Structure 1
């Protein structure tokens, strides 16, 4: 990671980066793809499309006779606010810290004996495609045993088969996980507890395709919005023609992007505390999370002070935001108007990351914006391949003990989000 100076992330948590970390290879800014180039990538191998693998991936899926599986049907989600959320929250955090787990002194992997002191275990949420899949691959290449999780069992298992057969990585396994289902979170925790007794890395890339809006994707592609316009926020007026903001979509977005991260973290925290190599938590965020994009000056200043916030206050703020969206008062009250639910959920993810870092100084806990990656979350309008977008997250997952914590990264560079 390349860092220019140090950055303070609020009282009590300071972002500094040792100069010993390897600097990533520099690449020229990606050129703007033509409509034809975008379509060619979309029309690539159907199985690659299913996994979200880019043409530049080190591993390519060979054509197979089987037809691609139909898209998964959207399952009913937790509503917000509702008593069911309280139940899910309690269930997600219900796994008690048990006595130290007795493990074998060595673990078998790839026909080698790996000493327990060198064995590292990672959980990656949303690991079945795109950035999440590439994070799994890069971690596995570094010798980390990876539990790839996904809600859809077939897609999760397909992703593991891809990594095993096409990338020759046998240290990746699948486990089902619905981040909004407390029983599912508890089941994953129980599996890790019984088989490994600890967790070293929690990588949360679970928000693919949850932008909080309904989009006419054909009309959006026809606009051919360039990356600079997207990233600057100047696309807001253009999006009005093709995007519909609804309360239900906003609720789903907030549930997935914030509450899902929170419940999985709470459910796996007892296992992370047992890490023998130093626990790492990496939460995926977005450029939309940067506080300079918050029109409400008073709230912007308040969000900059992590010490003044806890989950209860954050969730009360999200309640106020959702009510403003529901009643058409976003602009009047100074809330973000471009992808509002997505922006707010990511601002809260940043804040939650800083709160966790303050509470657990023995861990390295950071959030990262992967860049303008071509994925479902931006309706495949991005220009960066997943393997490049995953790089910053993987470097944060493999930080040394004196690495930064409570920080925001824009890809592999220390960013300014608050």
Structure 2
């Protein structure tokens, strides 16, 4: 593990970025480090994470530290918390970026993908990708485990360190697919939007209920997203939005928000997006570095505050 850092780290803001070895996560690390933040770049693959940190060092960004983290493993999150506590004593910024789409695209790789997509606008590219994607129960289960539970495990482990900061921030990378309009039942929509009564235990239970209904073919009858693709992804991001708003209510001394970075070109969507990873990361970093006393419990659609419904 590379533990190099600049002198006087206590004078710098300390940030953790999950899923920081590629795509939007790597660009978030790059942009935070370029703004004088000491970044703990995390990834579950040690070889890829170390390589990403070394690449940032080679570009002149020395204040990047790699630490192994599988967000779906609570013991990994605990080890990360111990490392930060012992080395820095606090954490100022947590970016929960790690995630999966919960589906597989069946694509003929004999033809260059960009040749297939030439002339298509972003909406057409997305539609093309959806038409070539399939989703299994096992993928849905993994999606909830990483996207929702992973966000919760990491946030819970690092919460005392964020509270030790004079201005702790949490940014949960979400999606417009997590908006409640995708749910078919008003009951679930209202419950997820009723932040005063929402609890972590209920969010956990919703995750289990969704997977049970997915397995038994009862999604539509019980009010879940059911008529399109990426069903588990939509539910996972809706749960993240609910978790964000609930945590902001329970911990008002912190700034806790979720961000839809836009439809970005990353390997999760075979580079079919309309924005670059750097542009998507820019929205996340702007929210993470907002002036003190800024909004909390808010869903940002890129750079604008937007309703989560």
Q: TM-score, normalised by structure 2?
A: 0.90
Shift of 1:382: 0.8
1:139: which partner in 2? 32
TM superposition shift of 1:109: 5.9
Show structure 1 runs of 4+ deviating over 4 A: 219-225
1: CA distance, partners of 2:37 / 2:23: 19
Which of 1 and 2 has greater Rg?
1
Tell me if 1:395 matches 2:286.
yes
Query: Match for residue 10 of structure 1?
Result: none
Moved more, 329-338 or 188-197: 329-338
Aligned residues: 299
Cα drift, residue 391 of structure 1: 0.9
What are the Cα deviations for residues 303-328 of structure 1, in whole angstroms up to 9, with x where unaligned?
Answer: 22111210111122222211121122
User: CA shift at 1:194, angstroms?
Assistant: 0.9
CA RMSD of aligned residues (A): 2.2
CA distance in 1 between partners of 2:108 and 2:95 (Å): 32
> What is the aligned partner in structure 1 of residue 300 from structure 2?
409
1:394 and 1:298 mapped to 2: Cα distance?
34
- Matches of 2:85 and 2:206 in 1, distance apart? 35
When you count helix as a share of all residues, which structure comes out higher? 2
**1:343 aligned counterpart, secondary structure:** helix
For the Cα contact (< 8 Å) 1:217–1:379, is it kept in 2?
no
SS at match of 2:297: coil
**Given the alignment, which residue of 85, 95, 103 partners 1:193?**
85
User: What is aligned with 2:170?
Assistant: 281
* 1:255 Cα deviation from its structure 2 partner: 0.3
Task: Give the 3 Å change call, closer, same or farther, for CA 152–216 of structure 1 in structure 2.
Answer: same
Is 1:129 the counterpart of 2:22? The answer is yes
Aligned to 2:269: 378
Q: Distance in 1 between matches of 2:8 and 2:142?
A: 44
The Cα shift of 1:301 comes to: 2.3
Tell me how far apart the structure 2 counterparts of residues 192 and 315 of structure 1 sit (CA, whole Å): 27
- Deviation, 1:186, is 1.5
Task: Tell me the TM-score normalized by structure 1.
Answer: 0.68
In the alignment, what sits opposite 2:135?
A: 245
Please tell me whether the aligned partners of residues 364 and 399 of structure 1 are also in contact (alpha carbons under 8 angstroms).
no
Pick the aligned partner of 2:46 from 148, 153, 164. Answer: 153
1:377 Cα deviation from its structure 2 partner:
2.3
User: What is the deviation of 1:379?
Assistant: 2.8
In structure 2, what is the Cα distance between the partners aligned to 1:377 and 1:417? Answer: 23
**1:223, CA displacement in angstroms?**
7.3
Question: By how many angstroms is 1:244 displaced?
Answer: 2.2
Identify which of structures 1 and 2 has the higher relative contact order when contacts are C-alpha pairs closer than 8 Å and 6+ apart: 1
